[in-house]
Amino acid sequence: MSSPAQALLDALHRLDQPFSVVRDPGGELRPVPGPLGAAPEAIAFAPALPPAALGDSTFLETYGVRAAYATGAMANGIASESVVIAMARAGMLGFFGAAGLPTARIASAIDRVQAAVGGLPTGWNLIHSPADPRQEQETVDLYLARGVRIVDAAAYLALTPQVVQYRATGVHRDSTGAIVAPNRLIAKISREETAERFLRPPPAALLERLAREGRITATEAGLAARIPMADDLTCEADSGGHTDNRPLPVLLPTVALLARRTAASLGLTTATRVGAAGGIATPEAVAAAFQLGAAYVMTGTINQACVEAGTSDLVKRMLADASLVDVAMAPASDMFEAGVTVQVLQRGTLFPQRGRLLYALWRAHPSWEAIPAADRTKVESQILRAPFQEIWARCEAYFRDRDPSQLDRAAREPKHQMALVFRWYLGMASRWAIDGEATRAHDLQVWCGPAIGAFNAWTRDSFLAEPAARQVDVVAANLMTGAAAVTRATFLRLQGVDLGPTAFTWVPRPLRSAL
């Protein structure tokens, strides 16, 4: 027979069953099954709280999922087809990491995923590509042709014709006269000014241009002008990769308030939903995000540590050994000259230091030849591992097919030539990580936020400590189930019943269908 304390803990973890807490004549607390009122002498009550009850129920209805949980679109296919398939089969939403991939590769991923899951909901990334608008357009054209209905729009500082075309295509009125946008858009943001662009309808000038060019109809343009650009905003806090390092308790309430105010100013009856990303790696963090008002949560870094992730076993082992301080900021390959940085793993790799050295040299000198000889030797021998001109020849071959204007600019501006060569190293460093290139072990670029340290601390001494056991749907089920249990424990503590630290510690278990 279990002790009263164990009986309370067992009742707490039966998430779909409400119970009351009573004090028996001996002073012991014990659970009584049933709704409030089943035990008139109750001193506290814990309502049923299955994981599906966390977050905004309209998120579940909109996307046809069973939990307000999504996996983010880590670029270059790190958020792989296998991740998306596993999440779809588990009743949750996974986004494919299409950023950085050629159109043919994205098309292949769509074919594989759709063949595996049929009509189950799946998500796809659309990345803003200021240096390559052709790729952005090709991705939109592909998504529209293949019937991709859920897109994660990322890295947008301003709206582009491509993202507006995706949103506006197919907009119509249903039989009741309501405006329906079949293409769902979830925008990832970390700034208020960016959020506001997605909270409002697309600019009239962009809609008129798209209609004039025949990319949308005049009817679609007119109706799209009356609905917000996005169905949802994902507040990206301190995350891996591109990040503004914003703290979630500051960012999310600010954006949620902006969403409510914007909806009111537009005369809308409901505001755009706002979700949470960045730092989501433990049941407590998931519970806290929902307490902050998040409609849903989105994970990123921790999925890269799972078996389905499209990265190497070497990277997964490195991530499993990381703590929350083992991250650093390094130059971004796609926005190098703008000084933009990304958050990466620094444990076990010299990439952050080497990337910062390249940026410092680029900032300080007008050309490769102007760099002191000793520094040039160091760059060629330790970082590029080849003569500068050899790497430049590779860059020339790439841009000759992809974007010849880059070569024209490099011929006029030696500093730009240097930037392209340095960007070659930054871009290849992420590829070496994905491929597990052992000869480049000290040059691996692994996008990673401090959440990985919290995840490893939580899973230590459990079956999820080993990379081979980290299945993305099992992790998701544990996070959501644990968050519901922690939230119920909080309900009781607010009523004066503290079940002790064990009630707030969810030990990972082999869950998969708990949602």
- Listed by start position, the domains of the chain span 53-311, 325-443
DSSP state of 368: G
Q: What mean pLDDT do residues 123-151 have?
A: 94
| pLDDT per residue as tens digits for the range 460-508 | 999 999 999 999 999 999 999 999 999 999 999 999 999 989 999 999 9
With 80 as the cut, is the pLDDT of residue 155 above it? yes
Distance (Å, rounded) from C-alpha 159 to C-alpha 171? 18
Run of H or E residues at 33: strand 29-33
With 60 as the cut, is the pLDDT of residue 513 above it? no
Q: What mean pLDDT do residues 393-405 have?
A: 93
Distance (Å, rounded) from C-alpha 60 to C-alpha 390? 53
Give the model's pLDDT for residue 35.
84
The strands making up 44-46's β-sheet, listed across from edge to edge, are: 29-33, 19-23, 44-46
- 3 state SS of 92: coil
Give the model's pLDDT for residue 130.
83
Run of H or E residues at 453: helix 451-459
Give how far Cα 424 sits from Cα of 99, 344, 396, Å: 17, 17, 11
Tokens 């925008």 sit on residue: 187
Give the model's pLDDT for residue 206.
98
Distance (Å, rounded) from C-alpha 185 to C-alpha 150? 6
Give the model's pLDDT for residue 26.
85
What tokens does 90 get?
A: 């588990």
What tokens does 81 get?
A: 């087809």
Distance (Å, rounded) from C-alpha 372 to C-alpha 361? 10
DSSP state of 382: I
Q: For strand 341-345 and strand 327-331, is the pairing parallel, antiparallel, or unpaired?
A: antiparallel
Give the model's pLDDT for residue 515.
61
Give the model's pLDDT for residue 33.
93
Residue 182, number of CB atoms within 10 A of its CB: 11
What tokens does 223 get?
A: 């109706």
Q: Which residues contact 482 (CB under 8 A, 6 or more apart)?
A: 282, 283, 286, 287, 506, 508
46 phi, psi to nearest 5 deg: -115, 110
Give the model's pLDDT for residue 24.
86
Distance (Å, rounded) from C-alpha 433 to C-alpha 78? 10
| pLDDT per residue as tens digits for the range 332-359 | 998 899 999 999 999 999 999 999 999 9
Q: What mean pLDDT do residues 444-455 have?
A: 97
Give the model's pLDDT for residue 198.
98
Residue 1's pLDDT band, with cuts at 50, 70 and 90, is low
| pLDDT per residue as tens digits for the range 202-256 | 999 999 999 999 999 999 999 999 999 999 999 999 999 999 999 999 999 999 9
What's the mean pLDDT when you consider all of the chain?
96
With 60 as the cut, is the pLDDT of residue 324 above it? yes
Run of H or E residues at 109: helix 103-117
Within 13 Å of residue 105, how many CA atoms lie on the same side as its CB? 14
* CATH annotation of 53-311: 3.20.20.70
Q: Which residues contact 108 (CB under 8 A, 6 or more apart)?
A: none
What tokens does 331 get?
A: 């130059």
DSSP state of 308: T
What tokens does 403 get?
A: 């974007």
Residue 442's pLDDT band, with cuts at 50, 70 and 90, is very high
Distance (Å, rounded) from C-alpha 135 to C-alpha 331? 22
Within 13 Å of residue 152, how many CA atoms lie on the same side as its CB? 27
Q: Which amino acid is at 359?
A: Y
Give the model's pLDDT for residue 512.
65
Q: What mean pLDDT do residues 129-134 have?
A: 84
Run of H or E residues at 21: strand 19-23
Q: What mean pLDDT do residues 8-25 have?
A: 94
Give the model's pLDDT for residue 335.
87
- 3 state SS of 335: coil
Q: What mean pLDDT do residues 27-39 have?
A: 86
Give how far Cα 271 sits from Cα of 189, 221, 256, Å: 16, 22, 9
Give the residue, 513 or 511, on which the prediction is more confident.
511
Tokens 């009509």 sit on residue: 119
CA dihedral in degrees (34, 37, 41, 47; nearest 10)? 50
Count Cβ atoms within 10 A of the Cβ of residue 205 and give its class: 0-12 exposed, 13-18 middle, 19 or more buried: exposed
What tokens does 121 get?
A: 């909901």
Strand partners, 189: 235
Spatial contact of 152 and 98, defined as CB atoms under 8 Å apart = no
Distance (Å, rounded) from C-alpha 384 to C-alpha 369? 16
Q: Which residues contact 228 (CB under 8 A, 6 or more apart)?
A: 198, 199, 200, 201, 266, 268, 272
CA dihedral in degrees (206, 211, 215, 216; nearest 10)? 100
- 3 state SS of 228: coil
